[in-house]
Structure 1
């Protein structure tokens, strides 16, 4: 694999051969494809496919399994999905993100000494969205019962052999976990011993979560016995979680530990089915969720990059890296300032942000020889023919960015990420999982669920870990006027599933974990396939770059923890010295490391041969099964 990446980087002006070897083989299937963050969860999806379920059924089963396995998320987190409906030819967006609870205001958090809402604990929680999102998707677009789809997760809750990654995460976080009694009961079965977390391979049992999942199935089965339809029966389970005894215990357990979520907050929350955003890049329609995610930033970057001849630059040449970096900078500057919950604030300028004319104007800011520092948001309202209602905040926003902040690195190329940046990189990469599913009928699903990762605060005796997504809000309108915390509002999240259509048919389904790097890596993955003719597996494994020149969405308690680091770029450690030196001359501070691409999962639709290609990155435990 090292030789493969080195060859790619040294041959930057050569298109990649589709026959080039990869560390992991591509997946192939004719009937279906199931890919997600854990091998056992991919198996859950394959089980549902083998029982006759469609891609939505399988995706829901994988979602349930990954939540039960704490794959950097749990049942109290949030779910974001794109679904291609083969009968209508439309892409459907599912918004199952929780909202800030009653009492969650800037004044409240500032009174407790916070500069941002906290990273962990009950005050970090928005209302849970994943149970509702799963039920809604299954009811509206699946074919199976909740009982069938939850069967693998229920079996796991009874006890499954926990893998080393999760077990060791629990052990590392045990001191924080001990501050929450319901979490300690679940995660630390060996309390008082040297190792208090489960060992790798130990059967990990979750009795409380098992009871919660069984209650959901009971609600569905009782509704069916009363003559309810399949859809209504599934929604009966939905209602039990958000309005019944599960809700009561969730709220009791949250408030006992200092949380804000009320019964009314849960009862008022709804899944939203909405129109996705999309642009056309060289004949390919690329779909993302709306501005409550960072997804449109990738679309903005593609619009900007249409103004450059990327193919002639060569894959990961200095000029290519510089151009992609600049497009991401300009897009993320807009993301940082303009994105937020469109259901709470109606004047988010998404039409202007995604216009080709605005992208052309932004592209003109790119200096081919020098990194643009202290990048500021543009004025997309001009391209909607409207005055900018937040123009006065733009000057204050510029003053919050410290353009002198660097990484304390010398001008010489490094061979490892410097120690001073380890905490920062953790906040930049902070993970989740991804789920990709497709079937022969034409259903395609791309999901990026998250929230409730370890160390999670479990709400009472539900076994459900609460979300930590509150930290993605800001408390100062000058930072992000559309993303200031308020009760009933959704935070702007990094979570960003992707679908692409070509000639009106599915072309790619793709997603990745990794905080603010998600749309950076997905942008480059997409370009790897479209511009450089890589196979889907090659594109998931290929070396990318990561920009630190953006406001972080997760982690850190002080303003300086989240400020953009002008010129800070991460490249693969096998990048040639000549490339690193060229980047330094352009004003970059170069870091190097083994991890630059995130665990990307993707499905490519080979219409020429009537088959599915699956790609699953060699970086992580992500796994897929096809048939």
Structure 2
């Protein structure tokens, strides 16, 4: 025991990071006095900066970046979903934006089971929930922005109408998935402009034009301007554009195009859907309030993990020591197991047991289950109901979880992975992220997604549809809260984050990457709070990734004990983790494309960070 304790102390000393300086990171910290705009592509960050230059606030900038990234397919389309947290300095409160689409009419368990599917498909018209991003953008702008829709859509409209130079990442995605894209008429016409040539998609740097999408965006601006001419105020005018998308001629063409490809979305589905303004959930970690969206995304996982880890002395373990990595992995296992059984759409009964799940006492009970000597491949969900004074209505399902999978059979077309590469691709399924803040105190964190390539484009709208239906389950034994029903939201992975300290904004942070998102964000937060890193150091720092939770995509398969580490992890850490039962793989960069803003209140400045993992980029002033 003494020898092990001494070894742990040496590891802590060796691995605890020295206090670094910004120039030692691959990218510099973004320092701003007036504003910061960060998102997944440099051109889109410029769109945000343009709104600030017009005198707009952080909400205006975030909406412009959302429009631009959707136009650039980074990795989302206009028919995807948007979820955001907004700090309103007038009320000093955090607001949640729920713009996740719902399963359309006809999307039932029986419908997909008759097609021989265990889950809804990954791709195609039957993978689509109703579009959420247009509504989310317009409601955010109407409620909390200051500029017009015409101004905010200006950069995206110019990019669609006049074209923009296609970046290498988008080109690769199109070329990789061109055989799927060829199946769908409007996707083929828009995304494969060189059919029959060696490269059928755009070339890197080629000016990529989307006339159908430009026409749709022009219709939205036209609706707003007509409403203003009729004497409507700014908010009413923006919502007139909203109505044109979900109830007018845009909706009619979108539904026609979807149904032409065999999809299920109806005019009634679009008309009934609406954006929800919500109160987010939160926890306190060592006096810092951390806010996340509620159970329709995986956000509460971060809060549960922080509650569990608050019982441990993480700093004493040493950054990325074997003990630290094991502790993170086990805490995440416990939190993700609860996600996999209890998270779902809170607008459908019964209510998810969030009060119990986020209880500090429940976290202490979960922490007691950690095996400090080895990984537990059989971690199960807990029972949070007693911690909110209730009886678990699904106790029998809980006791039998996880359900035994059926015997392997030939995968349904478009619905199952066929290789380790496919598994990891879906696990890390990317999107984009957006951070914006200004000197007046507005802060916005967004993680939009859906409609990534290969997407079905709905008719002449230019709108690429979501693929989020695949995140539903069809067997209540897997997760009774997330069973597919028409009108219901699938439990998504998307997870913006805001943290307040002493009642003031402290951090705004998010990341793309499917089931890895909450893992990356947890480590980012701890890097700042426990190990004193700057936002840029933390955004680039080596992270671990667990695959032990149930995949939210494809065939929902878990990989217990699978652990991805940064390749510079020292041999003695690898040896100790191998002894603990981990199956390790190594990558050069494991940070994930994290974005963040830190609020330096003593100096009245903003610090922006964007990791060097992808194309994420920021601008500050």
Q: Place the TM-score, normalised by the shorter chain, in its bin.
A: over 0.9
Q: Quick one: distance in 2 between partners of 1:400 and 1:335? A: 18
Q: Quick one: distance in 2 between partners of 1:363 and 1:10? A: 22
2:395 matched to 1:396?
Answer: no
The corresponding residue for 1:351 is 355
Match of 1:49 among 47, 52, 61: 52
Query: CA shift at 1:396, angstroms?
Result: 3.3
The corresponding residue for 2:413 is none
The corresponding residue for 2:447 is 448
* Residue-by-residue CA offset, 1:555-603 (whole Å, 9 max, x unaligned): 24xxxxx332221111111111111110011111111112322100000
State the SS of the aligned residue for 1:491.
coil
Q: Measured at CA, do residues 125 and 399 of structure 1 come closer, stay the same or move farther in structure 2, by a change above 3 Å?
A: closer
The corresponding residue for 1:426 is 425
2:531 matched to 1:537?
Answer: no
The corresponding residue for 2:7 is none
State the SS of the aligned residue for 1:49.
helix
Match of 1:231 among 235, 255, 259: 235
RMSD of equivalent CA atoms:
1.4
Pairing of 1:464-475 with structure 2 (within 5 A):
464-475=463-474
* Residue-by-residue CA offset, 1:80-100 (whole Å, 9 max, x unaligned): 000000011000000000000
The corresponding residue for 1:410 is none
Is the contact between residue 400 and residue 479 of structure 1 (CA under 8 Å) also seen in structure 2? no
Q: Measured at CA, do residues 370 and 496 of structure 1 come closer, stay the same or move farther in structure 2, by a change above 3 Å?
A: same
State the SS of the aligned residue for 2:377.
coil
The corresponding residue for 2:19 is 17
Query: CA shift at 1:501, angstroms?
Result: 0.2
Is the contact between residue 338 and residue 481 of structure 1 (CA under 8 Å) also seen in structure 2? yes
Moved over 6 A (4+): none
Query: CA shift at 1:427, angstroms?
Result: 1.3
2:594 matched to 1:624?
Answer: no
The corresponding residue for 1:581 is 575
The corresponding residue for 2:412 is none
Pairing of 1:238-249 with structure 2 (within 5 A):
238-249=242-253
The corresponding residue for 1:34 is 37
The corresponding residue for 1:408 is none
2:282 matched to 1:288?
Answer: no
The corresponding residue for 2:462 is 463
Query: CA shift at 1:113, angstroms?
Result: 1.0
The corresponding residue for 1:126 is 129
Q: Quick one: distance in 2 between partners of 1:620 and 1:333? A: 29
Is the contact between residue 16 and residue 532 of structure 1 (CA under 8 Å) also seen in structure 2? no
> Structure 2 regions of 5+ residues with no counterpart?
1-10, 407-417
The corresponding residue for 1:87 is 90
TM-score, structure 2 normalization: 0.95
Pairing of 1:447-596 with structure 2 (within 5 A):
447-556=446-555, 562-596=556-590
Q: Quick one: distance in 2 between partners of 1:118 and 1:521? A: 27
Is the contact between residue 401 and residue 564 of structure 1 (CA under 8 Å) also seen in structure 2? no
Match of 2:106 among 103, 107, 129: 103
Is the contact between residue 13 and residue 313 of structure 1 (CA under 8 Å) also seen in structure 2? no
TM-score, structure 1 normalization: 0.94
Aligned residues: 599
Q: Quick one: distance in 1 between partners of 2:567 and 2:15? A: 19
Is the contact between residue 12 and residue 319 of structure 2 (CA under 8 Å) also seen in structure 1? no
* Residue-by-residue CA offset, 1:357-399 (whole Å, 9 max, x unaligned): 0000000001211112211000000101111001111133234
Q: Measured at CA, do residues 426 and 230 of structure 1 come closer, stay the same or move farther in structure 2, by a change above 3 Å?
A: same
Q: Measured at CA, do residues 290 and 81 of structure 1 come closer, stay the same or move farther in structure 2, by a change above 3 Å?
A: same
Query: CA shift at 1:74, angstroms?
Result: 0.7
State the SS of the aligned residue for 2:220.
helix
Query: CA shift at 1:347, angstroms?
Result: 2.2
Q: Quick one: distance in 2 between partners of 1:572 and 1:370? A: 20
Q: Quick one: distance in 2 between partners of 1:213 and 1:476? A: 40
Q: Quick one: distance in 1 between partners of 2:498 and 2:91? A: 16
State the SS of the aligned residue for 1:148.
helix
Is the contact between residue 33 and residue 439 of structure 2 (CA under 8 Å) also seen in structure 1? yes
Q: Quick one: distance in 2 between partners of 1:233 and 1:276? A: 28
Q: Measured at CA, do residues 446 and 12 of structure 1 come closer, stay the same or move farther in structure 2, by a change above 3 Å?
A: farther
> Structure 1 regions of 5+ residues with no counterpart?
1-8, 403-418, 557-561
Is the contact between residue 83 and residue 91 of structure 1 (CA under 8 Å) also seen in structure 2? yes
Is the contact between residue 12 and residue 318 of structure 2 (CA under 8 Å) also seen in structure 1? no
State the SS of the aligned residue for 1:304.
helix
